[in-house]
Structure 1
Amino acid sequence: MKSLNDQRLPSGGVLTIALCFVVALLEGLDLQSTGVAAPRMARELMLAKDQLGWAFSIGALGLLPGAAIGGRLADRLGRKPVLMLSVALFGIFSMATTMAWDLNSLLAARFLTGLGVGAAMPNLVALCSEAAPPERRGAAVGAMYCGMPFGAALAAVIGIASPGDHDWRHIFYIGSIGPLLTLPLLALFLRESNRFETLARQASASVSVSISNALWREGRAGTTLALWCSYLGTLVVLYFLMNWLPSMVLNRGLTPVQAGVVQMMFNIGGGVGAVTIASFTDRLGRRSTLIGTYIGIALALCALAGATGGTSMALGGLLAGLFLVGAQSVLYALAGAAYPTHIRGTGVGAAIAVGRVGSMVGPLLAGQLLALGQSPATLVMASIPLIVIAAISALVLVSNFPREALPASRVFNNKSI
């Protein structure tokens, strides 16, 4: 397999993808940090379980407007300045989290952190999509997106290695210093998208197109709807497992250490899946990759539901992370290719915002059903129909792609990018 460097990346493309990977890593670290810090945070701030649930959810709530606004601003102001603003925002308010003194101050800090994290992702997708030629977009976006699960795994390692039972602020110190140190690197070395700069120089009237026209006009209604459905269905299941997998392990009578190992395997599988499965779209084609990936998700969920011991749970977690995060990585690459340059940020940002609804609905719905006495295995199996819907939507999305958005091995038109 050739590396990204061997695939005719434009000048600075590898550096762009590397810097975006670092930002995605820091995002993954931040998204997992509240869960890692939760037990110690709850003791110090005297938070009840329902209040702690709000602390989990409020960050995800901030992701919704962040993604929509960040994507829209990316098409107006440029990818680089909006990404830098986003990184500064979630770095500053991750630091503010360490200064929380009660529930309300904690919720405010986590919401604003989520706003910054949400605004960064559509810019990362747009930059990586535009840093690579069409035939390498899947690999480029996948290489960036694998930073998310690896960042989450890093947060878990920090939690395991944390000294004392009351020290929870250190993970947020790391989560704030990292982004703030990354800002000078972005300022010095990150190049603005050449495609965006070309449009800006041409002062194209299409740059000011309305959100409605960007998403629903000129034959894009079917593409947008299919993209949203595939994001929503996939992320409901992904975030259900991200939040409840440790509890599932404990429910099987296994130890907290085994629960941590299963969660770690889930994140490692996700990191591997993000870069490898997305790259398959460049070599095998989108349709074949999607069919194989969603079949893999269904089989992984069956394996996870039937697992009983630590080894089988770890294997199920690894496969679930591999295919679920891999599927989401493919969807990010598809979103980057589904819209032309002048509305790419808007289109990707809107899809991410809709997908974030799934990131909140999945854990919340699972919690309600578990409280009513449903077993974790039943919930895992019940999520397979959602995966089927997401798979069908993704296949419809590919069939709705305009001719110029197909892989370059089949057709290539420079005007589409």
Structure 2
Amino acid sequence: MTWRQWLAVVICLVLNALDGFDMLAITFAAPVIREAWQVTHEQIGIVIASSLVGMSLGSLFLSPLADVLGRRTMIIICLTIMAISMAMAPLSSDIATLSFWRLTTGLGIGALVGTITAMAYEYANMRWRNLAIGLMGVGYPVGGVLVAATSAALLPAHGWEAVLWIGAAATAAMIPLVFLIMPESIAFIMSKQGAGALADANAVLRQLGHRLATLVRDDGSSPTIRRLDIFSHTFLLTTATLTIAYSLHTMTTYFVLGWVPSIVVDIGHDPGTAALVSMWINIGGVVGGLAFGWFAGHFGLKLSTVPLLAGTMAAVAIFGDLTSGPTLKLTGFAIGFCMIGASVGLYALIAHLYPTALRATGTGVIIGIGRSGAAVGPVLAGVLMTAEVDKATIAILMATGSLVAAIAIWMLPTRPGADQRSGAVPCPAD
């Protein structure tokens, strides 16, 4: 691992932080929008769900393009979509228009997540792969910390529009950075083969500080791989299991990320306290994501992911029955530690599942289908709150998603010969 490889992983972390910032910005803006526009919880739930629907569509239909166009090209496309949509959203004057721009923002975010997961995985060597995925994964809560701090500073004086414009500017600033200093993934170049593959691979190797190659080795899958092979007999059971687990855990995750600020305000605290509680959730997520890299190196992916999923369920259920500010912050830290740590574990499992030619496609499809189901979470929570169901009951109901996900991952099928230390799932490329 040269410093240029680590730089590529760090850029993936920053890109994931932008995902977190751009996605969560609307959750901090939600209480302010609801008061200013005099709309209901259900209507705000539709705005939040629009982002999730967009993320699902982006993951399903745009992420696979990274296996065709390349990782770097797709990252630039995604950032462009996100920057434009984030800049346009504050100009909205009604729920329908705001929901449209949030859906478009979600398209870019959804495609970007699958692409940077593949990129971080492919830029790391085998020894540091779990840590690279962990670093990429903690970008999301880092973005959450930044958007919480930004919201606490800007919302009282400058309104919710300023928070989204900050996100748009930061996203746009990354486009030339990626273009200039982030080379294409060598694994992607190898998977495409072709007459220019050796020259292209050597150009990247030269930038990374490695000795040049004399041939491009066939990875054993690219000549016959088709996008729909993720649903073939070889992959179907594992893909289905991971999709169910990811969907249910993401339902719990986006209940937390989408509604915690509003819940904290509803129980009597000010928006500043709500932002601080969310910031502690994201700080816990940073610590949990980094800790996962250590856990996975010692216990393997499955044995590291399952306890974190179960811990998410317990912490979220407890949170719904709390009222004290300091206790809310401490429990929020525990939620973030388990919730983001488990999410990183799921990303790592997904990345290990597929050969290079299918990695972005498989990641995108699982995330896309998973977030389609998870989009129900914010809407369902909004309906329950409007019906005046107590917060403790709502929290318990929404927390069960992570518990069922833990059971699904525990039952995840493996085959003899799998690399249990790395968590690798056998596939044709093995």
Q: TM-score, normalised by structure 2?
A: 0.85
Is the contact made by 2:64 and 2:361 (CA closer than 8 Å) also made in structure 1? yes
Is the contact made by 1:305 and 1:381 (CA closer than 8 Å) also made in structure 2? yes
Aligned position for 1:287: 302
Q: After superposing the two structures, state which structure 1 stretch, 107-116 or 247-256, moved more.
A: 247-256
- In 2: Cα distance, 1:208 partner to 1:159 partner: 49
Aligned position for 2:333: 318
1:124–1:383: structure 2 CA closer, same or farther, 3 Å change rule? Answer: same
Aligned position for 1:393: 408
Quote how far apart the aligned CAs of 1:400 are.
Answer: 2.7
- In 2: Cα distance, 1:36 partner to 1:385 partner: 24
Aligned position for 1:336: 351
Is the contact made by 1:130 and 1:194 (CA closer than 8 Å) also made in structure 2? yes
- In 1: Cα distance, 2:29 partner to 2:424 partner: 49
Q: Indicate the SS of the match to 2:302.
A: helix
- Picking from 206, 216, 238, the partner of 1:223 is 238
Q: TM-score, normalised by structure 1?
A: 0.88
Alignment of 1:169-318 (within 5 A): 169-202=161-194, 206=222, 209-213=225-229, 215-318=230-333
1:15–1:105: structure 2 CA closer, same or farther, 3 Å change rule? Answer: same
Is the contact made by 1:63 and 1:115 (CA closer than 8 Å) also made in structure 2? yes
Is the contact made by 1:229 and 1:390 (CA closer than 8 Å) also made in structure 2? yes
- Picking from 414, 418, 421, the partner of 1:407 is 421
Aligned residue pair count: 406
Quote how far apart the aligned CAs of 1:355 are.
Answer: 2.0
The alignment status of 1:346 with 2:361, answered yes or no, reads yes
Alignment of 1:17-36 (within 5 A): 17-36=9-28
Is the contact made by 1:232 and 1:355 (CA closer than 8 Å) also made in structure 2? yes
- In 1: Cα distance, 2:250 partner to 2:143 partner: 18
Quote how far apart the aligned CAs of 1:389 are.
Answer: 1.7
The alignment status of 1:53 with 2:45, answered yes or no, reads yes
Quote how far apart the aligned CAs of 1:227 are.
Answer: 0.6
- Picking from 330, 342, 348, the partner of 1:327 is 342
Q: After superposing the two structures, state which structure 1 stretch, 360-369 or 20-29, moved more.
A: 360-369
Runs of 4+ in 1 over 6 A off after TM superposition: 43-46, 410-415
Is the contact made by 1:266 and 1:321 (CA closer than 8 Å) also made in structure 2? yes
Q: After superposing the two structures, state which structure 1 stretch, 271-280 or 148-157, moved more.
A: 271-280
Alignment of 1:136-175 (within 5 A): 136-162=128-154, 167-175=159-167
Quote how far apart the aligned CAs of 1:334 are.
Answer: 0.8
Unaligned runs of 5+ in 1: 1-8
- Picking from 62, 73, 88, the partner of 1:70 is 62
- Deviations along 1:356-385, whole A, 9 cap, x unmatched? 124311222222233334322123233454
- In 1: Cα distance, 2:84 partner to 2:222 partner: 34
Q: After superposing the two structures, state which structure 1 stretch, 130-139 or 310-319, moved more.
A: 130-139
Q: After superposing the two structures, state which structure 1 stretch, 226-235 or 198-207, moved more.
A: 198-207
- What amino acid is the match of 1:407? R
- In 1: Cα distance, 2:279 partner to 2:265 partner: 15
- In 2: Cα distance, 1:71 partner to 1:402 partner: 31
- What amino acid is the match of 1:212? L
1:350–1:93: structure 2 CA closer, same or farther, 3 Å change rule? Answer: same
- Picking from 383, 388, 406, the partner of 1:368 is 383
Quote how far apart the aligned CAs of 1:81 are.
Answer: 0.5
Q: Once the two structures are aligned, what percentage of the paired residues are identical?
A: 28
- In 1: Cα distance, 2:427 partner to 2:404 partner: 33
- In 1: Cα distance, 2:301 partner to 2:261 partner: 33
- In 2: Cα distance, 1:405 partner to 1:232 partner: 25
- What amino acid is the match of 1:339? Y
Q: Indicate the SS of the match to 2:154.
A: coil
